[in-house]
């Protein structure tokens, strides 16, 4: 008998399906909102993880009225659903100036700048009052002005200062190197180091401009694990609403906090090589992976249960993805619970990318919840 035959939710699943545990997600929101409130910092959650107008409404009872997004299109989507204070946490794309002007007429818009060219262009072409943040690289090495070259910020700030419709809010960073830091203590150390590294550029700018500026930080590991966030003005975590296999393996969260998973049909079982083949590939998960006991893992593995899914199966992980196929390493002791035609529940390495790929959720109570990606 298939393990899910007595589980009505799973009987309806015929292809890779993004499952959502609403109770876990709401508990994660409540946790982060309470932490921000305790520290007296603004909670501006990043909506790029869930990308859903309906899920966005789950934040409002916690007093959230300002959000973060990752693109102009995402900003427009949430503006159309009533959000009126939106920061686009991506270096401003000057080629979208018409869309930015349109957005700025409808919402309080925050933009990221890290060059004199961008600042001067906005000063000349953005015609509606908007906020600007200077993006600082505190060690992740992805984007932003180097924290240890504070003198590079002054020409940018001065270019913004001559534009009366642009308001410099402060310094914004994403300490992405907390991902994979190795321990909670290492994450906390990076957070402390981040604040220290922002001191010099913040002081320099405040003295030169004669105004108070804010600090905005945004990574889920630090926002989850640091006990006291009172050293900043704003936090922008996003992945915390769902977490994922990567965060679990790094110790950011426990398994009971992971709020999304992908149910995948089993299409083949090869006991001789401890491999299960599922219908669920790169087009469903993307190609993000994490490390599991020294192996590249695109996700961890669970079984369907009456409450959603089990704890991760010890030793089981998604070892390979092609377009439609997923190869799952399953130790022999679990294979008698898996057969062709059954379902495996995969906890994706990166929940944000799985949401983007699969476009809609199936909640554990059987509701379909759409995202902005549904055409």
- CATH number of the domain encompassing residue 314: 2.40.37.20
Q: Does residue 267 share a domain with residue 215?
A: no
Structure pTM?
A: 0.96
Q: Does residue 159 share a domain with residue 199?
A: yes
Q: Which domain holds residue 333?
A: 8-20+259-370
Q: Please report whether residue 92 resides in a domain.
A: yes
- Residue count of the chain: 375
Q: What is the pLDDT of residue 2?
A: 59
CA distance 101 to 263: 42
What is the three-class DSSP state of 226?
A: coil
Q: Please report whether residue 82 resides in a domain.
A: yes
Q: Please report whether residue 311 resides in a domain.
A: yes
Task: Decide which of 210, 239, 268 is a domain's last residue.
Answer: 239
Q: Please report whether residue 2 resides in a domain.
A: no
Q: Does residue 87 share a domain with residue 63?
A: yes
Q: Does residue 27 share a domain with residue 16?
A: no
What is the three-class DSSP state of 288?
A: coil
How many structural domains are present in the chain?
A: 2
CA distance 43 to 24: 19
CA distance 69 to 78: 9
Q: What is the pLDDT of residue 1?
A: 46
| Helices 184-209 and 153-161, axial angle in degrees (round to 10) | 50
Q: Does residue 217 share a domain with residue 349?
A: no
Give the CB-side neighbour count of residue 67, counting CA atoms within 13 A: 31
Q: What tokens appear for 141 in the block?
A: 């090495």
Residue 172: CB atoms within 10 Å = 26
Using DSSP bridges, classify how beta strands 325-329 and 234-235 pair: parallel, antiparallel or unpaired: unpaired
Task: Decide which of 180, 206, 239 is a domain's last residue.
Answer: 239
CA distance 160 to 22: 43
Q: Does residue 28 share a domain with residue 16?
A: no
Q: Does residue 285 share a domain with residue 229?
A: no
Q: Does residue 224 share a domain with residue 270?
A: no
Does residue 209 contact residue 261 with C-beta atoms inside 8 Å? Answer: no
Q: What is the pLDDT of residue 7?
A: 83
Q: What is the pLDDT of residue 5?
A: 64
Which residue positions in the chain have pLDDT lower than 50? 1
Q: Please report whether residue 251 resides in a domain.
A: no
């Amino acid at each position: 008998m298939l393990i899910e035959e007595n589980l009505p939710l799973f009987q309806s699943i015929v292809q890779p399906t993004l499952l959502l545990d609403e109770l876990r997600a709401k508990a994660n929101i409540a946790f982060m909102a309470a932490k921000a409130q305790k520290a007296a910092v603004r909670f501006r959650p990043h909506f790029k993880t869930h990308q859903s107008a309906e899920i966005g409404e789950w934040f409002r009872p916690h007093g959230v009225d300002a959000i973060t997004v990752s693109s102009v299109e995402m900003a427009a989507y949430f503006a159309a659903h009533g959000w009126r204070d939106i920061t686009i946490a991506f270096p401003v794309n000057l080629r979208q100036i018409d869309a930015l002007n349109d957005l700025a007429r409808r919402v309080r818009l925050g933009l990221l700048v890290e060059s004199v060219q961008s600042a001067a262009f906005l000063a000349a072409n953005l015609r509606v009052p908007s906020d600007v943040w200077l993006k600082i690289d505190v060690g992740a090495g992805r984007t932003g002005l180097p924290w240890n070259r504070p003198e590079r910020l002054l020409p940018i700030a001065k270019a913004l200062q001559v534009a009366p419709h642009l308001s410099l809010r402060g310094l914004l960073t994403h300490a992405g190197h907390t991902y994979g830091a190795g321990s909670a203590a290492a994450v906390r150390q990076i957070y402390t180091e981040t604040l220290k590294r922002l001191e010099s550029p913040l002081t320099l700018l405040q003295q030169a401009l004669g105004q108070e500026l804010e600090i905005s930080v945004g990574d889920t590991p630090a926002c989850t694990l640091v006990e006291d966030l009172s050293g900043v003005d704003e936090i922008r975590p996003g992945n915390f609403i769902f977490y994922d296999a990567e965060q679990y393996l790094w110790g950011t969260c426990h398994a009971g906090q992971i709020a999304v998973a992908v149910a995948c049909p089993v299409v083949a079982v090869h006991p001789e090589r401890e491999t299960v083949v599922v219908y669920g590939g790169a087009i469903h998960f993307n190609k993000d992976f994490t490390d599991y006991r020294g192996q590249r893992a695109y996700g961890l593995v669970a079984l369907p249960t009456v409450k959603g899914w089990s704890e991760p199966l010890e030793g089981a992980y998604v070892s390979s993805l092609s377009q439609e196929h997923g190869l799952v390493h399953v130790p022999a002791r679990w294979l008698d619970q898996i057969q062709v035609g059954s379902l495996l529940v995969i906890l994706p390495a990166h929940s944000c990318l799985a949401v983007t790929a699969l476009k809609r959720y199936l909640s554990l109570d059987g509701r379909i919840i759409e995202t902005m990606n549904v055409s």
